[in-house]
Structure 1
Amino acid sequence: MSPETTPDTDRRARVRDAALAAVPAALADLGTLVRIPSIAFPGFDRAEVARSADAVKALLDDLGIFERVEIRTAVVPETGVPGMPAVLATRRARNGRPTILLYAHHDVQPVGDESLWESPPFEPTVRGGRLYGRGAADDKAGIMAHVGALRALVAALGSDVDLGVNLFIEGEEEAGSASFAAFLHENADALRADVIVVADSGNWDATTPALTVSLRGNARFTLTVRTLEHASHSGMFGGAVPDAMLATIRLLDTLWDEDGAVAVDGVIERDAETPEYSEETLRDEAGLPAGVQPIGRGSILSRIWNKPSVTVTGIDAPSVRNASNTLTPEVSVVISMRVAPGQDARTAYAALEAHLRAHAPFGAELTFSDIDCGDGFLVDTSGTAVTAARAALEDGYGAAPVDIGVGGSIPFIADLVREFPQAQILVTGVEDPHARAHSPNESLHLDTFRHALLSEALLLERLDRDGL
């Protein structure tokens, strides 16, 4: 051993080498997972989600380090229907070491309009340093970052690992995690951990890692606007009778001010500083054309991370193809509100519902249904696990990590906080700003994946060596 080499540095070096060597096999296994169309939404084949769970279980069985690997479900409390299959693996800690819970999900979003994909969504395709396919980034890459990091730990250290490791690979995150809280409660003893790593977020860019320290909450619901008992001829009655489309357009327009900022009393903003982020970067990452102006006020990242937003994500109304000279009696829209971190999601929803009822034009009848609320999240960054994670990310990426907020929502993290209040929660991920999660041509930046796998392996090694 050279004078500069210590047992600890030699150990880290072995884990580093093993992690880099594990990347090709991890990507090959990721390709296998991407080929399974594990969409947990209603109307899709539940058997494919079960097939995906089986494939994940086989990967965890092959690691050979867990005392138990099982596929489990929990019943959705509101419906009494079993949720989608999740994979749960457990390994007890030894010699006073902590236990880490690694989370990811194996279900994916629907593909949308398949004609917009440049390659088949469930056929993993590499081009330009990226792996394309539905779930390639969100979140089957998260699964393989966990598996690859554990493979590296076992390859480098063999049986000389005292760290407790639990894995929870969910099967319905994209569809709303309806049975998540019940699953946590029923399996609390198996899932309990000192540190929880949620691999379902993103990074500052393709070369700079990030820890997600804030997430917006969400409130999603269907609004139905009705003004007529039945459809009527637009020529005979138009100009005197308000149709549902007119009422819906007028009503929705009240949700935003002239700058596009949310104009709903009782919905709050969070006051927090944000890093520099230019409009040029926004246009590049979001695909915003030169002629279209950004909406909102304040710094761009404050609008995305710390302020509410309201988006109409779906509408049921006569299509252009089926248009006729008819006054539409009823229109339904899906409204998705992102709630500022720190505000209770149901409080924000109540404010939005009250606003809509108060502004309903022409006496239109409003019905609210399919209400789904999830709270945001603020990370306590003072914990030792955060320090360890930052060091591992810097070692793995070769760049200092950035603390970021995320405009999206991961509501189940609030469930984790309620069930395991003493656990330190780390929100990481393998996505970069060009991953296009949930969109056509979703992809994984291959170098980002390599760095993420390496960083997690180094974090596991550090927790196994030093504890918390």
Structure 2
Amino acid sequence: MSDDIRAKVQALLPGLRRDLEDLVRIESVSADPARAAEVQRSAEAVAELFRAEGFPEVDIVSANGGGPAVIARKPGPEGAPTVLLYAHHDVQPENDHADWDSPPFEPTERGDRLYGRGAADDKAGIVAHLGALRTFGDDLPVGVTMFIEGEEEVGSDTLLPLLEEHSERLAADVIVIADSGNWDIGEPALTTSLRGLVRLDVEVRTLTHAVHSGMWGGLVPDAIMALTRLLDSLWDEAGNVAVQGLHSGPAADVEYPEERLRAESGAAPGVQWVGDGPVVERLWTRPAITITGLDAPQVDGASNTLTPAARAKISMRIAPGDTTENALACLQRHLEEHVPWGATLTTTVVDTGEATAIDATGPAYDAAREAFTEAWDGTAPVDMGVGGSIPFIAEFLEAFPQASVLVTGVEDPDTRAHGANEGLHLAEFEKVVLAEALLLQKLGSLGR
């Protein structure tokens, strides 16, 4: 049976490649209001793909004015489990086209990859699901519900209302979320933890207006000086997060060699790592704080004055096991206690997203590990953490507590999702499709 499925997947690849390229050509950038029609066109194209597969129920839905999602359902044999397959059809902005080696919305093969915005994240996830379904045609071993979201790249703001409104249609025994990646080329993974996110805008004010630096410097603190001192307090001397009260935990026992870490991170020669302790803990299961933006006078043309106010955007990743409520309270308390020289501090919450820790045990996970091992020719999957955040996974876990949630995906360490030259490794994509087809077969044999 495994050899038959492998042969069917190989035969399906040219058609799947065409479908993926057609989707990549649609500029479904959900963050750009000017391309809302493209996001809608993308949803319609996805819906048409499932109608062509004989899904008797295919709808484009939205909630509270949010992005268009596709729900499609196809029954399986009597007594078989129902599997929900998730991906998203919206994509990140492509930003400066000059940074791309080929047009971002024209899929282009170079070497072993197919390049284009959404070629991996996450239109390849949609097509991987499609390939697994086509492997079985009308003889699905399980009941299948497709849920293809249209606003993941802008925070999934209306996902929870969608899950609530369509809870009966989306209820499943197993949920497969294809929006993550694998440990390396040739090494599959199941994502079992993700950090959460708290973003905060901070303003420090020391003056009502700018004043001459020669007249008042040395006595009156300027806002950049105060903000710099405040931000520096967020880390200890080694670079570990110094905010008290945040959660940290252990990570999977995975080796991350120095040479690979340096190559994949893009660290400049000679740069040393921040923090101490195991590398994967620092990346997956401990908090991290990054300053992602600063508002202050530009260097070019700056006047010789004390700056009255300065702003920064703080991005804090929180460890699995922590909550955004706790993390936000800890961060705000730290800032209030460390703002220097009596400066006025103003904080504004930008957004938050909960961390996720998945119980990766049980029959569905056993079936997934067997399927992945077969697809990757005997290489068992790694239980992998992810330092980034996919907050909607926590919403799935809360909405469907009885379901087994499997987080998979098509990405690899050099996918460059969200950046220029995003690319899908074509040989790994074939393995992803094969693994999901094998998984559906094994889940069908388990029964409900």
* Cα displacement string for residues 123-162 of structure 1 (whole angstroms, at most 9, x for unaligned residues): 22211211122222111111111111111221xxxx3335
Query: Does residue 102 of structure 1 match 2:92?
Result: no
Distance 1:263-1:185 versus aligned 2 partners, 3 A rule: same
Out of 292, 297, 309, the position equivalent to 2:276 is: 297
2:3 corresponds in structure 1 to 13
Structure 2 residue aligned with 1:74: 63
By how many angstroms is 1:385 displaced? Answer: 0.5
Q: Find the aligned partners of 2:51 and 2:296 in 1 and give their Cα distance.
A: 49
Q: What is the letter of the counterpart of residue 417 of structure 1?
A: L
User: What residue in structure 2 maps to residue 5 of structure 1?
Assistant: none
TM-score by length of 1: 0.91
Deviations 1:177-219 (A, max 9, x none): 1111111111101110000001011111011100111111111
Which amino acid in 2 is paired with 1:98? P
Counterparts of 1:241 and 1:265, CA distance in 2: 30
Q: Name the structure 2 match of 1:422.
A: 402
After TM superposition, the structure 1 stretch with the greater mean CA deviation from structure 2, 226-235 or 402-411, is 226-235
Does 2:211 align with 1:221? no
CA 238–44 in structure 1, closer or farther in 2 if over 3 Å, else same: farther
Residue in 1 aligned with 2:46?
A: 56
Q: Aligned equivalents of 2:26 and 2:334: distance in 1?
A: 43
Please list the CA deviations of residues 25-69 of structure 1 after superposition, one character each: whole Å capped at 9, or x if unmatched.
2222212222222222265532221122122112122111x2211
- Matched residue type, 2:315: S
What is the Cα deviation at residue 322 of structure 1? 5.1
| 1:245-264 matched pairs, under 5 angstroms | 245-264=224-243
1:268 is aligned to 247
Counterpart CA distance in 2 for 1:458 and 1:228 is: 65
SS at match of 2:416: coil
1:28 partner amino acid: R
Deviation (angstroms), 1:235: 4.4
Stretch deviating more after TM superposition (454-463 or 413-422):
454-463
The 3-state SS of whatever aligns with 2:79 is: coil
Partner of 1:78: none
Maintained 8 Å contact 1:39/1:45: yes
Secondary structure, counterpart of 2:253 in structure 1:
coil
Q: Which residue of 1 aligns with 2:442?
A: 462
- Given the alignment of the two structures, is residue 136 of structure 1 paired with residue 110 of structure 2, yes or no? no
Q: Secondary structure at the match of 1:201?
A: coil
User: Deviation at 1:397?
Assistant: 1.6
Q: Secondary structure at the match of 1:40?
A: coil
Secondary structure in 1 matching 2:154: coil
The offset of 1:173, in angstroms, is 1.1
Spell out the pairing of 1:282-431 with structure 2 (5 A cutoff).
282-321=261-300, 323-398=302-377, 399-431=379-411
Cα gap change, 1:321 to 1:119, in 2 (>3 Å): farther
Amino acid at match of 1:255: L
Q: Identity of paired residues, percent?
A: 54
Letter in 1 for 2:380: A
Cα distance between partner residues in 2 of 1:28 and 1:131: 12
CA distance in 1, matches of 2:115, 2:447: 37
2: CA distance, partners of 1:192 / 1:99: 8
* 1:278-299, Cα deviation, whole Å (9 max, x unpaired): 1211001111122101111111
Query: Where does the alignment leave 5 or more consecutive residues of structure 2 unmatched?
Result: none
Question: In the alignment, is the contact (CA less than 8 A) between 2:207 and 2:309 conserved in 1?
Answer: yes
Range with bigger deviation, 340-349 or 216-225: 216-225
Tell me whether 382-391 or 267-276 shows the greater mean CA deviation.
Answer: 267-276
Number of equivalences: 447
Correspondence for 2:136: 153
Runs (4+) of structure 1 exceeding 6 A deviation are none
What do the CA deviations read for 1:378-435 (whole angstroms, capped 9, x no partner)?
Answer: 2212210101111111111212111111111111111111110000000001111111
Aligned residue for 2:67, secondary structure, equals: coil
Cα deviation for residue 240 of structure 1 reads 3.3
Q: Deviations over 1:258-277 (max 9, x none)?
A: 21111110112103442111
Partner SS, residue 384 of structure 2: strand
1:231 Cα shift? 3.4
Letter in 2 for 1:153: F
Moved more, 342-351 or 238-247: 238-247
Where does residue 179 of structure 2 map in the other structure?
200
Q: How far apart are the structure 2 equivalents of 1:13 and 1:202? A: 25
1:233 positional shift: 4.1
Kept in 1, the 8 Å contact 2:251–2:280? The answer is no
Alpha-carbon distance, 1:116 to partner: 2.3
The one-letter code sitting in structure 2 at the alignment partner of 1:72 is V
Picking from 6, 9, 12, the partner of 1:22 is 12
User: What is the distance in 1 between the residues matched to 2:41 and 2:101?
Assistant: 26
Amino acid at match of 2:109: V
Q: 1:206 touches 1:432 (CA, 8 Å); kept in 2?
A: yes
Q: 425, 428, 439: which is aligned to 2:419?
A: 439
Q: Distance in 2 between matches of 1:194 and 1:273?
A: 26
Task: Check the 8 A contact 2:141/2:441 in 1, yes or no.
Answer: no
Q: Post-superposition shift, 1:321?
A: 4.4
State the alpha-carbon separation in 1 of the partners of residues 327 and 9 from structure 2: 44
TM-score by length of 2: 0.95
- Structure 2 CA distance, aligned partners of 1:234 and 1:117? 44
* Maintained 8 Å contact 1:199/1:428: yes
User: What's the secondary structure of 1:362's corresponding residue?
Assistant: coil
Q: Partners in 2 of 1:231 and 1:45 — Cα distance?
A: 41
- 2: CA distance, partners of 1:246 / 1:114: 37
Q: How many Å apart are 1:239 and its aligned residue?
A: 3.5
Q: Secondary structure at the match of 2:414?
A: coil
State the distance in 1 between where 2:33 and 2:63 align.
20
Amino acid at match of 2:229: R
Q: Is the 8 A contact 1:213 1:405 kept in 2?
A: yes
